[in-house]
Every structure is written in C-alpha cells, then in structure tokens.
Chain A
Amino acid sequence: MQDLAETQEESAIIAAARAGDEDAFAKIVDAYGRRVFSYCWRMCGRGAEDLAQEVFVKLYFALGQFEPGRALSPFLFRIAHNHCLDALRRRRVPTVPLESDSECGGLGARIPDPGPTPAESAKRSEVGRAVDKAMGSLPPAYRSVLVMRHVEGLSYEEISEALNLPMATVKIRIHRGREKLQQMLRPLVST
C-alpha cells in the first residue's frame, strides 16, 4: 500500500471520494488501511481487522463533514480512536493488565507472528517484546497518544485535533505515558 502524500493530490482524491467516486475512496483505503489497522491493533488487539474496516465504512459516510483542504489523518484517526474506545467499552476492558491474555490485552503475545523468516524473527528483540507488553498494559488514554505520536508519527497538533484535546493535555499524556514505559524498560537498560 503506497502512502498518500498529504498534498494537493490527496485533496483531489478526497474531493472525488466526497463526490461519490468509489475508486477514489478505494485509494484512500489503500493509503491509510495499514495505519488504521495498526492503530486498531495496538488499541484493541483481537478483532482489529473488523474494527479497521468499520472505521473506513464510518469514514465513507462522514466524508461529507470533512473540511476540504485539511489533512485527512487527524480526521481519520479521530474516527478510529472513537471506534476503538467504543469497542473497548463494549468489551468492558478499561485497562489491560500486563501480560494478560484478555481479549484486548497481551498485545505482545498477539502480534501476528511476522513470519517464518529468520531475519524478521530476529528483529523481534527482547526490547521490542517488552515495549509490546508495556504498551498493552498502559491505559487506553496513554496508549492512544503514544501510538499516534511514536508509531504513526502524527504531530502534537494532529493528535490534539484527532482526540479533540488541548495541545497541553496531549503533551502531558505523552510525557506520562512515556514515563510509564520508561519505568517498565529500565530493567533492560544497563548502567
């Protein structure tokens, strides 16, 4: 899936999709599908593919409310975030205990095995697994901002728009979430 640059080309594709062009919407799905799926996976684990598909269905019907000329990612991530929170609420799993095997937890254990190739298996270092587990144990409020910032690479401004929160709140959440991760990773740091 190629990345859709947030440029005039993206604006044109979104405008076409808004006008009902199905091919244009398919391009949006291709461009953002992996990121939305990844976000849903990090937030909810199991059922992420269904959740991500539902996010795009919601996007399709919400495109009329999208302000043309703006970046799509905050708008899309807002839908994804709210959808994931709804899913978490339905499952009644407000936070995920470390190494739990609950529906939404144990992300580290539930990342699909990247495949049998030895190179990819080697990539999954001890640190990677520890971060996976630590992320799974964070409350959704911290997990969401850390995934948006450090996994999806959204700016503070975009996260603030996606979560409908003031920038200062986003910053505090990122700092606190990162501090929690730091505490969990400290045993892995040799001093």
Chain B
Amino acid sequence: MANACKDLRPLIQDALDGELAEGGLRRLEAHAAECRSCAAELAAGRLAVAALAELPAPEPGPGFSAAVARGIAMAEVRRGLARVRLAWAAVVGTCAISALLVAGWRVISPAVLAGAGAWAWDIARSAAPLAEALGEAALTIARGLVPLGGVAAKLSWLGLGWLAVWYALAPAVLLLVVVGTRTGRRVARCPILCA
C-alpha cells in the first residue's frame, strides 16, 4: 500500500459518517480518482451505507398492537399471581420459621440451661476455695490483732476506744499487707531487678 493510501484510508469511515471536513474530502476524492484500490474501498463503503438505508423494511403482522395488548394483560395477570404467591410464601415462611424456632428452643433449652447452670456452678466451685482461703487469712490476721487490742485496752483507761480503733485498723492493715505483697511481687518481676 502506498503512503498516500495509508494516510487516506482511515478517512473513508469519517467520510461515510459525513464527518470529514471539506479539505479532507477533496484530498480523499482526488486520491481515489487516481488509486483504484482506494476508489473501490470508498465505493464499497458508500454502497454499503446506501444499501443499508434501502433494506426492505419488514412489517409486523396486522394483529401486532392487539397482540401487545394481550401480552400486557397476561403479564399483569402473571404479576398479580406472582404477588399473591409471594404473599403466601411470606405467610407460610414466617409460620414455618416461627414453628422451627419454638420447636428448636424446646429441644435445645434444657441442654442450654443445664449447660449455663453447670458453668455457673463451675465458677462458684472454683471461686469458693479462693474466698475460703482469703477468709482464713483475714481471720488469722484478725486473731493476731485481737490480743494486741486486749493488751492495749488493759494499758489504757480508754481501753474500749482503743479496742474499737484496733478492730477498725485490722482491715486497713490487712489491705496494706495485700497491696504491699502484690506490689512487691510486681517489683520482683521487673526485668531490671531480675537480671
């Protein structure tokens, strides 16, 4: 293909679209007058466009509009039926799901409740020794404090007051001991101190 052909071939489609400017069209026509190949291409394009526009237009049958109206009526009936079916499906579905939920709950609930009870019992059981140990510790400390309180009461005319103070101090001291121990353990775990 000559250079002129390469340049001008792409213009053929624009020419067929009627979008080629006057100058471009003149160049294309001038080239086609000399180049048989491009002339044939352009002529075939024009022939195609003209033939497409003149293709015989098939007509629908005489009952076309009536058939469309019938089609719409039938589609409306089908849509109505579909809506009724959908409504029924919704009712039946809701009932079925509700029944399944109730039945399922009845079957599962004893096991669930038993499981939850066992779980609560496990917690209580594992917590009980802990609570007991704590109680023992508190009692031991308190027992140790009581004689001291007694001695203090004997040493003072305000013995009863001192006794009350000792008993009030007992939980505070216990708290201090606990907090002190925990802090001590934490400090002991500190990497710098461990190293």
- In this assembly, does B132 line the interface, its C-beta being within 8 Å of a C-beta of chain A? no
Whether a CB of chain B sits under 8 angstroms from the CB of A96 is no
Given contacts A29-B65, A57-B72, A182-B44, contact A111 B56 (CB under 8 A): yes
With both chains docked as a complex, state the minimum distance between the C-beta of B92 and any C-beta of chain A, in angstroms. 27
Q: Measured between alpha carbons, how far is A48 from B75 in the docked complex, in Å?
A: 19
Residue tally, chain A, CB below 8 Å to B: 50
Residues of A within 8 A of B53 (CB): 150-151
User: Cβ of A33 < 8 Å from any Cβ of B?
Assistant: yes
Q: Is the Cβ of B51 less than 8 Å from the Cβ of A186?
A: no
Contact (Cβ within 8 A) B52 A151: yes
Cβ proximity bits B62-82 to A, threshold 8 Å, 1 near / 0 not = 001101110110010001000
Contact B41 A26 (CB under 8 A): no
Residues of A within 8 A of B45 (CB): 178, 182
**Residues on the B chain within 8 Å of A175, using CB:** 13
In contact, B49 and A53 (Cβ under 8 angstroms):
no
Select from chain A the residue with minimum beta-carbon distance to B53: A150
Majority DSSP secondary structure for residues of B touching A = helix
Shortest Cβ distance from B50 into A: residue: A127
Contact A178 B43 (CB under 8 A): no
**Given the interface contacts A33-B60, A37-B58, A37-B59, does A128 sit within 8 Å of B67 by beta carbon?**
no
Contact A38–B58 (Cβ < 8 Å): yes
- 0/1 interface trace, chain A 141-178, chain B, CB 8 Å (1 if under): 00000110011000000000000000000010011001
Cα A114 to Cα B58 with chains together (Å): 8
Does A181 count as interface, using CB distance less than 8 angstroms? yes
Which residues of B line the A interface, CB within 8 A? 13, 16-17, 36, 39-41, 43-45, 47-49, 51-61, 64-65, 67-69, 71-72, 75, 79
Known: A178-B13, A178-B45, A191-B39. 11 other contacts (CB 8 A): A29-B68, A34-B57, A49-B64, A52-B60, A53-B71, A124-B56, A128-B54, A146-B52, A182-B41, A189-B47, A191-B40
